[in-house]
Amino acid sequence: MHTFIHPRRLGTGAVVVVAAFALAACGSGGSSTGSAKSASTVDTAAAAANIKKLEQPIEDWPGITPIKNPVDLNGKNVMVVPLIAAVPILNGMATGAKEALEHMGAKVTICDGKASPTGVDSCLKQAQAQKYAAVITNFVAFPMDPNGFTALADSGTKILIAGDSQIAGTTYPKNIQFFDSSASLKQIGTDEADAAVADKGADANVIWLSQTDNTNTIAQGDAGEAHFKELCPSCGFDRIKYATADEDKLPSQVSAALVSHPKTNEIVLSVDSIAAQVLQGIQSAGFSGKVKLIANGSDVAGLQRVASGQESDDFGASASYDGFALANALEQALAGEAVTPAVSVTRDFTKNNIGSLKISADEYDTPNWFGSDSFKKEYWQAWGGK
């Protein structure tokens, strides 16, 4: 869920749960067919050019607009609630936000939402009981716990809902603002489509795994499907929709989809953290060694799969950078400024660049795989610190 992403992608990610319990947790569409282009005329040049660009290190982080009237966080309690801490990108973003906010004097608690309404509600109730000044939720959709969000906001706590968007026509409590990552997640979807076509061209036959946890993750899958079909209308395409809370069903869903679509040669993952379930489904269907994965999140296991050849591409954003972006969005909200949407800052890890990296857990929470940590000082200065 990068893969936010800022989520810039987050990412992975990105990842995430039950924003809409009413949405179908799973299902798959039919293979796509097209007439705009024939298989013999599919042009992979633009897709390949984008992938080549994304393989390069990030030399310049996006510019940061200073907060006009930054709020002093010294001594104030702030909670960060990732949808589920077991997903590396979400935990990494929470850790990054904690570092950023503690540098500014805040006292920060990370509370695991556990990908469940009860888990999220427990965190929000804790923040309300202990009178936290602010709470950041990451990829937790408002419909997961509307009563909990409303009660906390009405108590005076400022809430930033990151990785989700406002639903048109819905009125929210005045102390709630959103950090929209839909644009960055859509970009991840189109980048993954580019990777699939750049790798297989007109021979691409894809199964696409798409999260239904909230509006932002749904947008990621929609954008990926639309771009893939635009690039190659004649290529095979099937989509499995699932909610994070129902990931245990993925092995059987993937296995069934492979049996139904025996020409599949690529599987696109909405986030790295579901790779184990997908690989189980691949093995069950007898497709081991026959399909390559394309994923996002760039966690340690994901990069190891790229190095071993199981994955062709793993798109990722620095969890540290994304965490600072979360903190910046909170600063904007506290200062009464408009919260600017998340920006996509992504690198694609492939066989062409993986060899130069130190793939280890201690590197994951740093920006080392992506570029320098120069953004940290820039953010602190934007918030009126050093």
Beta pairing, strands 347-349 & 311-316: antiparallel
pLDDT at 30: 40
Query: 13 and 89 in contact (C-beta within 8 Å)?
Result: yes
Instruction: Report the DSSP beta bridge partners of residue 242.
Output: 211
Within this chain, do residues 103 and 200 fall inside the same structural domain, yes or no? no
Question: For 7-35, what is each residue's pLDDT tens digit?
Answer: 333 333 333 333 332 333 333 344 343 33
Considering its fold, how many domains does the chain have in total?
A: 2
Distance CA 99, CA 103 (A): 6
Query: 181 and 1 in contact (C-beta within 8 Å)?
Result: no
Residue 93 domain boundaries: 77-181+321-350+359-382
Asked whether residue 195 is assigned to any structural domain, the reply reads yes
- Domain with residue 325: its CATH number is 3.40.50.2300
Cα–Cα distances in Å, from 198 out to 43, 45, 97, 205, 336?
A: 9, 7, 35, 12, 44
Within this chain, do residues 234 and 332 fall inside the same structural domain, yes or no? no
Half-sphere exposure of 303 (CA within 13 A, CB side): 24
Within this chain, do residues 129 and 171 fall inside the same structural domain, yes or no? yes
* DSSP codes joined into one string, 29-48: -PPP--SSS-GGG---HHHH
Q: Is 51 exposed, middle or buried (0-12, 13-18, 19+ CB in 10 A)?
A: buried
Asked whether residue 16 is assigned to any structural domain, the reply reads no
Asked whether residue 22 is assigned to any structural domain, the reply reads no
Pick from 213, 283, 234: which is nearest to 254 by CA?
283
Within this chain, do residues 310 and 231 fall inside the same structural domain, yes or no? yes
Query: 318 and 299 in contact (C-beta within 8 Å)?
Result: no
Q: What angle do CA 99, 111, 334 make, to 5 degrees?
A: 60
Helix (H, G, I), strand (E, B) or coil at 295: strand
Rounded (10°) CA dihedral 167, 171, 172, 178: 30
pLDDT at 385: 86
Within this chain, do residues 107 and 140 fall inside the same structural domain, yes or no? yes
Asked whether residue 21 is assigned to any structural domain, the reply reads no
Question: For 118-175, what is each residue's pLDDT tens digit?
Answer: 999 999 999 999 999 999 999 999 999 999 999 999 999 999 999 988 988 999 999 9
pLDDT at 60: 85
Asked whether residue 19 is assigned to any structural domain, the reply reads no
Asked whether residue 129 is assigned to any structural domain, the reply reads yes
Give the DSSP letter of residue 346. -
Asked whether residue 8 is assigned to any structural domain, the reply reads no
Q: Is 277 exposed, middle or buried (0-12, 13-18, 19+ CB in 10 A)?
A: buried
Phi-psi region of 29 (alpha: psi -120 to 50; beta: other; left: phi over 0): beta
Distance CA 225, CA 230 (A): 9
Strands of the sheet containing 311-316, edge to edge, are 236-242, 205-211, 266-268, 292-296, 311-316, 347-349
Within this chain, do residues 224 and 145 fall inside the same structural domain, yes or no? no
Within this chain, do residues 127 and 200 fall inside the same structural domain, yes or no? no
Tell whether pTM > 0.85: no
Within this chain, do residues 312 and 204 fall inside the same structural domain, yes or no? yes
Within this chain, do residues 158 and 194 fall inside the same structural domain, yes or no? no
Predicted confidence pLDDT, tens digits, the chain (386 residues):
443 333 333 333 333 333 332 333 333 344 343 333 444 457 799 999 999 999 999 988 998 999 999 999 999 999 999 999 998 999 999 999 999 999 999 999 999 999 999 999 999 999 999 999 999 999 999 999 999 999 999 999 999 999 988 988 999 999 999 999 889 899 999 999 999 999 999 999 999 999 998 888 999 999 999 999 999 999 999 999 999 889 999 999 999 999 999 999 999 999 999 999 999 999 999 999 999 999 998 999 999 999 999 999 999 989 999 999 999 999 999 999 999 998 879 999 999 999 989 999 989 888 999 988 999 999 999 999 87
Within this chain, do residues 51 and 189 fall inside the same structural domain, yes or no? yes
Within this chain, do residues 52 and 199 fall inside the same structural domain, yes or no? yes
Contacts with 171 (C-beta within 8 Å, 6 or more apart), sequence order: none
Residue type for 293, please?
L
Asked whether residue 264 is assigned to any structural domain, the reply reads yes
Within this chain, do residues 160 and 260 fall inside the same structural domain, yes or no? no
